[in-house]
Amino acid sequence: MDGHSVKLLSNIGQLNQLDQIEQLGIDGIGLLRTELLFMGLKQAPTEEQQYQMYKQTVEAVTPKVVTIRTLDVGADKQLDYIHLDKQENPALGERGVRYSLHNPEQFMVQLRAILRASTLGCIRVMFPMINQVEELIDILDLLAQSKKQLKQQQLDYGKIELGIVVETPAAIINLPSMLPYLDFISIGSNDLSQYTLAVDRTNPVLSQQFSAFSPAIIQSIATVINLAKQQQISVSLCGELASDPRIAPILIGLGLDELSINIGTFLPVKAAICSGQYNHFTQQAAACLKSTKISQLAQYL
């Protein structure tokens, strides 16, 4: 792409996908959905079990980066060994870091396993469903406690980059207060659309009418990029938008530093980006930002 470089990574949810990172020339893992790794388990994975999973992942892709998202359970993502109380609105309920912060011991098992694996390669960790800086401060406290526990056990840990998944409108509004604590951010456009448009992402009746490729979401993505760029924080996008070869070039034109793409569409997305001109992408992005109607955006599809 005429001199402009971006990183194209992938979303992973199963260890048997790891071979494809090398085979397809993928720049690394931009989203490891850890709850998918734990699916089918009858009991919470121990620190050692988790360490082995992260070790296998890092060793398979080193020296490329592995971005581990901490457990994102709740709403549309259920695990056999986690019994959440019945909630009237699960998507607005206990999920993502809300669950992790309510269950700090279980959360620290995951943090310790990730920290230990960080001695083996390049690991970033990111936290899902964050709304505000207090949650981040609480997480950082648990991270510090996890490091202390490892030290007491004389177990090593490496340096780890910290990020959040930006997937609620509140996270965007509160981003300036959170950026000072972060090394990177990744936009979760699936949930960001669900919460911005107030549309259940699992409801097939509404999914066509309220596409994530809509003016409110494009504006939100641009706002996030601008806020992060002011603080020199790198911005990725890991939702489905990045996996659409028609939309991914426009996302690059908006100024994203990297995309995390589903393995299944990695090659067509890469081809769409590599065969295009960055100038053209920025022009398309500018036109999209001026679009006030979904129908105007639809011409790119």
Who contacts 93 (Cβ-Cβ below 8 Å, separation ≥6)? Answer: 74, 75, 84, 87
Contact partner at residue 116 from Mg ion, ligand PEP, none, CB < 5 to 8 Å by partner kind: none
Nearer to ligand PEP, 135 or 167 (CB): 167
188 sits near Mg ion (criterion: CB under 5 A): yes
Nearer to Mg ion, 74 or 255 (CB): 74
Residues 281, 3: Cα–Cα separation, whole Å:
13
Nearer to ligand PEP, 47 or 258 (CB): 258
Position among 52, 132, 149, 190 found at the interface with ligand PEP (CB under 6 A):
190
Nearer to ligand PEP, 120 or 224 (CB): 224
Peptide bond into 63 cis (omega under 30): yes
Span from 44-52, 97-105, 187-195, 284-292 in contact with ligand PEP (CB under 6 A): 187-195
Position among 30, 163, 188, 253 found at the interface with ligand PEP (CB under 6 A):
188
Q: From the CB of 93, what's the least distance to ligand PEP, in Å? A: 14
191 sits near Mg ion (criterion: CB under 5 A): yes
Cβ atoms within 10 Å, residue 149: 15
Position among 12, 29, 33, 94 found at the interface with ligand PEP (CB under 6 A):
33
Contact partner at residue 27 from Mg ion, ligand PEP, none, CB < 5 to 8 Å by partner kind: none
Span from 37-45, 149-157, 186-194, 264-272 in contact with ligand PEP (CB under 6 A): 186-194
Residues 63-82 touching ligand PEP, rule: CB under 6 A, are: 72
Who contacts 229 (Cβ-Cβ below 8 Å, separation ≥6)? Answer: 235, 255
Q: From the CB of 78, what's the least distance to ligand PEP, in Å? A: 13
Find the residue with minimal CB distance to Mg ion.
191
94 sits near Mg ion (criterion: CB under 5 A): no
Residues that bind ligand PEP (CB under 6 A): 31, 33, 72, 167, 188-191, 238-239
Binding residues vs Mg ion (CB under 5 A):
167, 188, 191
